[in-house]
Amino acid sequence: MNFYVDPAFFVLAAVAAVPAVVLGMREKPLFGYTLAVSAAFLVLLFVYDWMQGAFFALFLVLATVLFLWVQRLFAHDSPRAVPLYRIALAGTLAPLVVYKVAAVFDGNLLGFMGISYLTFKAVQVLIETRDGLIKDMSVVDYLAFLVFFTPFTSGPIMRSRPFVERAHAPLPRPEYADGLATGILRFLLGAVYKFVFAALCSWAQWFVPEVIGSGSLLHSFGSEVAIAFFYGLYLFFDFAGYSLMAIGLAAAFGVDVPRNFNMPFLSVDIKDFWNRWHITLSHWLRDFVFMRFSRACMQRKLFKSRTTTACMGYLLNMTIMGFWHGITIDYVAYGFYHGALLALCELFQKTKFYRAHKSARWLKAVSWGVTMIAVFIGFSLFSGQISRLVLGG
């Protein structure tokens, strides 16, 4: 059963939400019930593909063992805690890396639906255990965090500490009811985004007349631009719609899933864009890749200037994002491209010209226009449209 696609999912989700609402409105703990529902949904997710199910179980065992090991190492202040933690980190990342590499050769090894998102969650717990922010997380809490079903397949990426905190402190009735009401609206809005707007954009995209090789150059350029435009809108409505449904459904279980999109098409620069588009992914990478990398560079004084450090950090951060999407020319180019855009943005914002005019309306307007063109070119890289045009095929 595909989440948020198969009609059965919606029916079962509605049925499962009813007891949750009854418990939530009576201020009863939802933790146990939510865990049971999540387990049932994951069984349904993998029931028709036992191999994926087996890979998922393997991942769960591996990640849990490594997490418990790391937590013990730091609890006992082991002198070898840091090097061993690195091994555990590599072990947690290994299934995702193997899966992505195997996909290059058209195979499925260790992969299952949700592996990319699950890996992020498991890695966050490990890193924060090393930082001393997570000390006594129980196995049950850890598993409940990993398997919580509404954002399981494609995010938004949650953080463990707010999840655990909320899980053990049932909300007062008015707050739960408020969250539920907003959640229902978000779920419905998400459904409209995905099943109406995204569907329309995808239809419009195919409705653009095929003129490649026949019409004038200008005409074929125009139709490619139209395809890129509708694809970008489709991507937004599809993913933002899915995210809203995952957030809305979670509210019934009293779980706060963070926002994933915040009007990305109003971004005035590319940094602004990444604070508005796939927010939980970009913030995860910001916190656990970019900030760690730039901190290490500064502590070791690897680069002379702050700006160079930032630019290298952006390139690394976004290239990793590209690889995370998949090891294909399109995804890696998409990641590197956004890294380069962020670096250029950083350089521009350090100029005297920018500092003198940054509040000017005209600059904001021009900057918005340039950002939107850059963003849609990015979508076009992501969709494979650009490599099709450049390489043919």
Give the interface with other proteins as residue ranges (CB under 8 A).
128, 131-133, 159, 271, 286-288, 290-292, 294-295, 298-299, 306, 309-310, 313, 346, 349, 358
Residue from 98, 165, 84 nearest 126 by CA:
84
Shortest Å distance, C-beta 310 to other proteins: 4
Shortest Å distance, C-beta 275 to other proteins: 9
Separation between Cα atoms, residue 41 and residue 249, nearest integer Å: 13
Shortest Å distance, C-beta 302 to other proteins: 12
C-beta of 168 vs 352, nearer to other proteins: 352
Check 168, 219, 325, 338 and give the catalytic one.
Answer: 325
C-beta of 23 vs 158, nearer to other proteins: 158
CB proximity list for 269: less than 8 A, separation 6 or greater: 345, 349, 367, 371
Shortest Å distance, C-beta 294 to other proteins: 5
Amino acid at residue number 13: A
C-beta of 5 vs 82, nearer to other proteins: 82
C-beta of 280 vs 383, nearer to other proteins: 280
Contact between 160 and 128 (Cβ < 8 Å): yes
Contact between 42 and 117 (Cβ < 8 Å): no
CB atoms under 10 Å from CB of 235, counted, come to 18
Residue from 39, 84, 42 nearest 66 by CA:
84
C-beta of 188 vs 291, nearer to other proteins: 291
CB atoms under 10 Å from CB of 158, counted, come to 25
CA distances from residue 325 to 164, 293, 322 in whole angstroms, order as listed = 28, 20, 5
Shortest Å distance, C-beta 24 to other proteins: 25
Shortest Å distance, C-beta 220 to other proteins: 40
Residue from 261, 256, 294, 255 nearest 275 by CA:
261
Q: Is 325 one of the annotated active-site residues of the chain? A: yes
Shortest Å distance, C-beta 138 to other proteins: 21
CB atoms under 10 Å from CB of 315, counted, come to 17
Helices assigned H by DSSP within 171-259: 173-192, 199-207, 217-252
C-beta of 216 vs 359, nearer to other proteins: 359
Contact between 356 and 348 (Cβ < 8 Å): no
C-beta of 153 vs 282, nearer to other proteins: 282
Amino acid at residue number 358: K
Separation between Cα atoms, residue 153 and residue 183, nearest integer Å: 19
**Which residues are known to be catalytic?**
325
